[in-house]
Amino acid sequence: MDEKPTILFIALIPRDYSPYYAKTYGMERSFDLMPHKYAILTLVSWLRENGCEGHYVWVDEPDEEGLGTIDKAIELCNPNALGFSLTTEEIAPHYRLIELLKQRHPDLPAIVGGPHVTAEPVRSLELFPLVDFVAVGEGERTLTELLHRIAAGHGDDELTSNRGIGFRDSSGKIVITAPRQKISDINILPDPAYDLIAESDEPADRRSAFPIICSYGCYFFCSFCSVEHGNYRCVAPERVVDRIYQAQRHYGIEYFAIRDSFWPPTREWLDRFCSEVEKRKLKIQFHFQTRAGTLTDEHMKRLKKIGAQAIGIGVEAGDPAILKSIRKGITVTMARRTVAALNQAGIFSITFFIFGNKGENRGTIQASVDLAREMNPSMSLFHVLSPLPGAEAFKSVPDDRKDWWLNSISMPPSICDLSPEELGHLASEAFLRYPLRWAYFRQHVVGARLSPDFRRIARRIFFVHLRKYVLGISERYGPARILIRWVKSILRRSGSC
Ligand code: B12
Ligand code: SF4
């Protein structure tokens, strides 16, 4: 039996997970590793280096089968605590799991960390009485110390000196301890415990998108975002390339999903990264999200050469005043130049827009739609703002609606003059109609710049949206529906459909 203070991380992960776009547009990539939390991998590797032990089990449902799997893992590793790494969206379903686990293992404390409880530690302990501890901010040192204290049976006084946590003391009062100082150089962190999610002795799914994170925090202050602002740190590029190399060697991975909020950290960092990949002659493919204005045309070409497949850019708004008010730190011109350079380099480009920031109206939303069409990326996504805890936008949510996310994050409250329904309708219309243009067809579907694989995806996007659009019209106009059915039946009879 393991004598070291031990935590068992638990997560609810849908079986055969595949994101909407992968299913809809027939992407051959496997996204099975995508829902796993990088936080768990990095926390466990730190614990292992610091006298503790960490294990991880995930199930798709908190049903008897799922609970049985967790019981078995508990029996095997005999943990001192159960750990959960949660975003706002995940907290309600995971709390139902915690309730069930507490019935079976009442003595095991539940520790929850991640962006939600970091933003709302007190409210989280109020709303979720079966959560014993919340971790506020970075967890490496906080969790190591806490696990040692739990294993040693420390009481209120000792727990109060554990920085970076929230808990209920023996009288039931909520205590939030002093903040934990950030790790100033994240190069001291050991490589993530990838062995928790990938098996080196089994043939790996070569199509898996393998998660890589190169940075903590962010030095920008966008009002809609709940990331940790103003505390940006990154891992040295050579170290990141080494992780990629190790993942290839141990798990046979060829595709990497760089999941930083934005990447690369700087142009100089990127130069070093590219040189290292070139020096080691690595054959990789990867995608990432960048900020408009970071990459030069030369960088795009170099990135394409070393394997960049798709690059996303958060443009967020087409109206310069909105862009300024959300403090995105980019201009419409920067976005235009970046997308033009990506299209020129033949990299699959994706832009992201948010509808419903403060001050938005139909006119500003139309400006976003127009900008997306004018820039003409390979794909454009339009989301409705979710004012989540931790973001400045959350302050604009009325007090009596602050817990709106408890029910579902699919219908967030609006903080502009348009209703949630209007915003939802405008976003889905913009998304549906985006590729249905001659300029899109010419550039991405039949143009020669994208690789054949990505041209196939663009073709799929075009035809899937066209089909949905026509079916939408047919639903609105009965005669058209009859006409479509008639054409379909003829095609079916002639064997071509
Ligand atoms: C990669 C990523 C994704 C990926 C992968 C998600 C995943 N499974 O990890 C994808 C693309 C799938 C994704 C999806 C979404 N994401 Co996301 N995502 C991120 C991103 C960019 C990086 C996360 C990460 O790995 N960070 C690095 C790790 C090390 O940091 P960390 O998670 O904060 O963990 C540290 C501490 O929080 C703490 N900690 C964490 N867990 C625990 C647990 C314990 C027990 C302890 C003690 C400590 C602890 O210690 C860790 C190490 O110091 C973050 C932004 C960011 N830079 O963090 C957004 C972020 C987490 N995502 C966010 C959102 C909103 C979403 C979506 C809802 C977006 C959408 N509209 O669909 C979905 C929901 C997904 C879900 N089911 O939760 C928000 C969450 C805000 C909130 N209040 O919860 C963030 C912060 C971004 C933002 N713009 O605001 N996301
Ligand atoms: S949206 Fe991106 S750039 Fe802006 S604060 Fe969030 S992570 Fe940073």
Q: Among 40, 87, 128, which is best to mutate for testing ligand 1, by the most ligand atoms less than 8 A from CB? A: 87
Clarify whether residues 264 and 382 are in a common domain: yes
Clarify whether residues 166 and 273 are in a common domain: no
Asked whether residue 194 is domain-assigned, the answer is no
Asked whether residue 315 is domain-assigned, the answer is yes
Q: What is the pLDDT of residue 494?
A: 64
Contacts of 395 (CB under 8 A, 6+ apart): none
Clarify whether residues 363 and 423 are in a common domain: yes
Asked whether residue 448 is domain-assigned, the answer is no
Contacts of 242 (CB under 8 A, 6+ apart): none
Return the ligand number nearest the Cα of 112.
Answer: 1
SS3 track for 97-164: HHHHHHHHCCCCCEEEECHHHHHCHHHHHHHCCCCCEEECCCCHHHHHHHHHHHHCCCCHHHHHCCCC
Clarify whether residues 281 and 207 are in a common domain: yes
For the chain, residues with pLDDT lower than 70 are 1-2, 200-206, 409-410, 474-475, 477-478, 480-481, 493-497
Given the structure tokens 């310069």, which residue do they identify?
320
Q: How many CB atoms are located within 10 Å of the residue 475 CB? A: 10
**To 10 degrees, what angle do helices 332-345 and 297-306 make?**
40
Asked whether residue 443 is domain-assigned, the answer is no
How many residues can be counted in the chain? 497
Clarify whether residues 213 and 356 are in a common domain: yes
Distances (CA, A) of 373 to 194, 336, 369, 380, 443: 40, 11, 6, 9, 12
SS3 82: strand
From CA 265, how far away is CA 400, in angstroms rounded? 39
Given the structure tokens 């960092």, which residue do they identify?
269
Asked whether residue 439 is domain-assigned, the answer is no
Q: What is the pLDDT of residue 175?
A: 98
Q: How far is CA 330 from the centre of its chain?
A: 22
Task: Check pocket membership of 222 for ligand 2, CB cut-off 6 A.
Answer: yes
Residues with CB under 6 A from ligand 1: 34-39, 42-43, 83, 85, 87-90, 111, 113-116, 118-119, 135, 138-140, 142-143, 213, 225-227, 259, 261, 388-390
Task: Check pocket membership of 323 for ligand 2, CB cut-off 6 A.
Answer: no
For residue 369, the domain's CATH number is 3.20.20.70
Closest of 4, 6, 151 to residue 74, by C-alpha: 6
Clarify whether residues 64 and 171 are in a common domain: yes
From CA 47, how far away is CA 141, in angstroms rounded? 9
Helix (H) or strand (E) holding 243: helix 237-251
Tens-digit pLDDT profile for residues 66-123: 999 999 999 999 999 999 999 999 999 999 999 999 999 999 999 999 999 999 999 9
Q: Last residue of some domain: 144, 176, 208?
A: 176
Clarify whether residues 105 and 231 are in a common domain: no
Ligand 1 atom closest to residue 409's alpha carbon, by position in its atom list: 68
Clarify whether residues 465 and 398 are in a common domain: no
Q: What is the pLDDT of residue 471?
A: 83
Q: Are 105 and 74 in contact (CB under 8 A)?
A: yes
How far, in Å, from the CA of 482 to the mean position of ligand 1?
47
Asked whether residue 263 is domain-assigned, the answer is yes
pTM value is 0.94
Asked whether residue 386 is domain-assigned, the answer is yes
For residue 111, the domain's CATH number is 3.40.50.280
Tens-digit pLDDT profile for residues 219-253: 899 999 998 888 899 999 999 999 999 999 988 88
Closest of 113, 137, 126 to residue 175, by C-alpha: 126
Clarify whether residues 264 and 407 are in a common domain: yes
From CA 208, how far away is CA 256, in angstroms rounded? 8
Q: How far is CA 184 from the centre of its chain?
A: 24
Asked whether residue 281 is domain-assigned, the answer is yes
Clarify whether residues 13 and 106 are in a common domain: yes
Given the structure tokens 């099975």, which residue do they identify?
32
Q: Whose CA is nearest to atom 68 of ligand 1?
A: 89
Q: What is the pLDDT of residue 136?
A: 98
How far, in Å, from the CA of 226 to the mean position of ligand 2?
8
From CA 52, how far away is CA 142, in angstroms rounded? 12
Contacts of 362 (CB under 8 A, 6+ apart): 418, 426
Q: What is the pLDDT of residue 208?
A: 83
From CA 366, how far away is CA 318, in angstroms rounded? 8
Q: Among 87, 226, 261, which is best to mutate for testing ligand 2, by the most ligand atoms less than 8 A from CB? A: 261
Count structural domains, the chain.
3
Q: Last residue of some domain: 387, 402, 434?
A: 434
Q: Which domain holds residue 248?
A: 200-434
Q: Last residue of some domain: 176, 192, 221?
A: 176
Beta strands, E only, 180-307? 209-212, 215-216, 233-234, 255-258, 285-290
Clarify whether residues 75 and 126 are in a common domain: yes
Q: What is the pLDDT of residue 484?
A: 73
Clarify whether residues 410 and 323 are in a common domain: yes
- Tokens, residue 65: 């089968």
